[in-house]
């Protein structure tokens, strides 16, 4: 088969040293491969310019501090934050959500309050809320999905009450690729006075995000899904929320003054960054943001949409394949093949040098709602092109022949 896409391929494969010729890497929703510019930024930081930040009186450390804070500014600009003081560096989205759960929900919510989640959330946007809900006597409600697998915002309008103090939703589903109408969800949350957190793990690499235009209260994402390093992620919050939140962890860097009589804390974002931070991770994330911005998210989105459309069209021609998610999903296609376990699909595709993810994708409640144990998932990035879709479809045709 030959796959054509409506847009010209981005032709970025050669930027990625860890993708060998002929390997279709279709697991970007799990983690993105790294462009050479990110590898170079990390190598340069450790190999040439390395020093600690915020403390050193020597020039090297002052320069590293400038670079670290420049990364924070790049993140702020990238997601439309008002100021870099609103950007807290964390290990990843998981840590960011735990931070908000403990420092905001853990201090603001009381027995009788409610949290609103959705059926498609990643476990990291479920479990931290369950932990805090149990500790504080708070209840959790779950939004259903529409028949085309989006978070049902009409149901949200019906279900939300003034008892709901927090709504936490995925901006783009890591399983279905469905894109949330984040502005509408925010307006609905705010109509009852609830705060809203958006999980941006799958959105920041795929669509333009502007937290001020959305109007949300908290936004979180992981650097490694945005072509950056692992171990670095971002919590953005409205400044008045960060100001009112107690520290997450105690230690160096997060203090104003320490004495055994009384310790006072630094203002945000330092208050939430105890210990020596992931300095080089922040520099790598900065390089990744520069890389993504140099291509442009509109171009990335158009490119991934064309690949998704081509994949869905080709797979819908195979009888035993069932597709999940809406047709306009962002960069992600989940599917099952009748009578074949997704792990077998993944193993056979691996023999064809096609890397996909098979399993529950850290979204077990969603699997239950879809009535499956697991799905196979292909997810695209800037390095993919029509040849990867062809390899995927060829591999799936082989799976169907083997299991006939």
Nearer to ligand PMP among residue 5 and residue 28 (C-beta): 28
Question: Residue 25 or residue 64: which is nearer to ligand PMP going by CB?
Answer: 25
Query: Closest distance between ligand PMP and the C-beta of residue 263, in Å?
Result: 29
Q: Does 217 bind ligand PMP (CB under 6 A)?
A: no
**Cβ count near 85 (within 10 Å):** 16
Instruction: Name, in order, each residue with C-beta under 8 angstroms of 351's C-beta and a sequence gap of 6 or more.
Output: none
CB 158: neighbour CB atoms within 10 A?
A: 10
Exactly one of 10, 76, 93, 307 binds ligand PMP (CB under 6 A); which one? 93
The binder of ligand PMP chosen from 94, 98, 186, 311 (CB under 6 A): 94
Contact between 27 and ligand PMP by CB under 6 A: the answer reads: no
Asked if residue 201 binds ligand PMP (CB under 6 A), the reply is yes
Of 110, 89, 116, 114, the closest CA to residue 237 belongs to 89
Kind of pairing, strands 114-118 and 164-170? Answer: parallel
- Contact segment (CB under 6 A) with ligand PMP among 91-99, 131-139, 242-250, 371-379 equals 91-99
d(CA 106, CA 129): 9
Report, in Å, the least distance between residue 91 CB and ligand PMP. Answer: 7
Under the criterion CB under 6 A, does residue 222 sit at the interface with ligand PMP?
Answer: yes
One character per residue 120-159, x = contact with ligand PMP (rule: CB under 6 A): --x-xx----------------------------------
Which sign does the torsion angle of CA 69, 75, 76, 81 carry? negative
| CB of residue 199 to ligand PMP, shortest distance in Å | 5
Burial class of residue 188, CB neighbours in 10 A (0-12, 13-18, 19+) = buried
Q: Give yes or no for a contact between 48 and 41, defined as CB atoms under 8 angstroms apart.
A: no
- Torsion angles phi and psi, residue 104, rounded to 5: -100, -65
Nearer to ligand PMP, 124 or 186 (CB): 124
Minimum CB distance to ligand PMP smaller for 102 or for 124: 124
Report whether 326 contacts 178 (CB < 8 A). yes
Identified binder of ligand PMP from the candidate list 5, 202, 375, 384, rule CB under 6 A: 202
**Using CB under 6 A, which of the segments 76-84, 92-100, 247-255, 303-311 binds ligand PMP?**
92-100
Q: How far is CA 150 from CA 153, 191, 274, 279, 318, in A?
A: 9, 21, 38, 37, 24
CB 353 within 8 A of CB 388: no
> Which residue lies nearer to ligand PMP by CB, 176 or 391?
176
| Residue 170 interacting with ligand PMP (CB under 6 A) | yes
Q: Minimal distance in Å, beta carbon 271 to ligand PMP?
A: 21
* Closer CB to ligand PMP, 122 or 278, in the complex: 122
For residues 333 and 340, which CB has a smaller minimum distance to ligand PMP in the complex? 333
Which residue in 28, 174, 305, 334 binds ligand PMP (CB under 6 A)? 174
Per CB under 6 A, the segment of 4-12, 88-96, 312-320, 388-396 that binds ligand PMP is 88-96
The answer to whether 362 is a known catalytic residue is: yes
β-bridge partners, 378: 333
Phi, psi of 67 (to 5 degrees): -65, -40
Q: Using H for helix, E for strand and C for coil, what is the string for 177-216?
A: CCECCHHHHHHHHHHCCCEEEEECCCCCCCCCCCHHHHCC
Q: Is 101 in the site for ligand PMP (CB under 6 A)?
A: no
Q: Closest CB to ligand PMP among 72 and 224? A: 224
Bridge partners, 167 (sequence order) = 116, 196
Alpha carbon distance 81, 93 (integer Å): 17
Question: Total residues contacting ligand PMP (rule CB under 6 A)?
Answer: 13
* Smallest distance from ligand PMP to CB 230, Å: 8
Question: Smallest gap, in angstroms, from Cβ of residue 228 to ligand PMP?
Answer: 11
Q: Is 203 in the site for ligand PMP (CB under 6 A)?
A: no
Check: CB of residue 2 under 8 Å from CB of residue 313.
Answer: no
Contacts to ligand PMP by CB under 6 A: 92-94, 122, 124-125, 170, 174, 199, 201-202, 222, 362
Active centre residues (catalytic): 362
């Amino acid at each position: 088969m030959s796959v054509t896409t409506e847009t010209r391929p981005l032709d970025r494969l050669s930027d990625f040293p860890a993708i060998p010729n002929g390997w279709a890497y279709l697991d970007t929703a799990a983690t993105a491969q790294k462009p050479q510019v990110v590898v170079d930024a990390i190598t340069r930081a450790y190999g040439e310019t390395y020093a600690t930040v915020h403390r050193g009186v020597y020039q090297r450390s002052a320069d590293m501090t400038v670079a670290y804070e420049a990364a924070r500014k790049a993140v702020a600009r990238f997601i439309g934050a008002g100021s870099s003081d609103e950007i807290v560096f964390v290990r990843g989205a998981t840590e960011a959500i735990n931070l908000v759960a403990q420092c905001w929900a853990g201090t603001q919510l009381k027995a009788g309050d409610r949290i609103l989640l959705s059926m498609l959330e990643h476990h990291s946007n479920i479990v931290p809320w369950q932990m805090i809900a149990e500790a504080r006597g708070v209840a959790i409600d779950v939004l259903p999905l529409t028949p085309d697998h989006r978070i049902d915002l009409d149901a949200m309008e019906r279900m939300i009450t003034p008892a709901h103090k927090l709504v936490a939703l995925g901006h783009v589903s890591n399983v279905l690729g469905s894109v949330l109408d984040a502005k509408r969800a925010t307006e609905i949350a705010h109509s009852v006075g609830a705060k809203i957190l958006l999980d941006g793990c799958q959105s920041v690499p795929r669509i333009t995000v502007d937290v001020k235009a959305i109007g949300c209260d908290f936004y979180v994402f992981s650097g490694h899904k945005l072509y950056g390093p692992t171990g670095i992620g971002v919590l953005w919050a409205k400044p008045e929320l960060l100001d009112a939140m107690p520290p997450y962890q105690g230690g160096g860097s997060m203090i104003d003054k320490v004495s055994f009589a009384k310790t006072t804390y630094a203002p945000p974002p330092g208050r939430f960054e105890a210990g020596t931070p992931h300095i080089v991770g922040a520099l790598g994330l900065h390089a990744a943001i520069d890389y993504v911005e140099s291509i442009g998210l509109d171009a990335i989105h158009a490119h991934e949409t064309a690949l998704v459309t081509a994949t869905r069209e080709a797979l819908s021609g195979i009888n035993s394949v069932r597709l999940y998610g809406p047709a306009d999903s962002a960069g992600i296609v989940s599917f099952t093949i009748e009578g074949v376990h997704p792990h077998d699909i993944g193993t056979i595709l691996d023999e064809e040098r096609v890397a996909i993810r098979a399993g529950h994708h850290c979204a077990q409640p969603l699997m239950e709602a879809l009535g499956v144990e697991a799905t196979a998932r292909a997810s695209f990035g800037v390095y993919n092109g029509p040849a990867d879709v062809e390899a995927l479809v060829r591999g799936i045709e082989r799976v169907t022949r083997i299991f006939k």
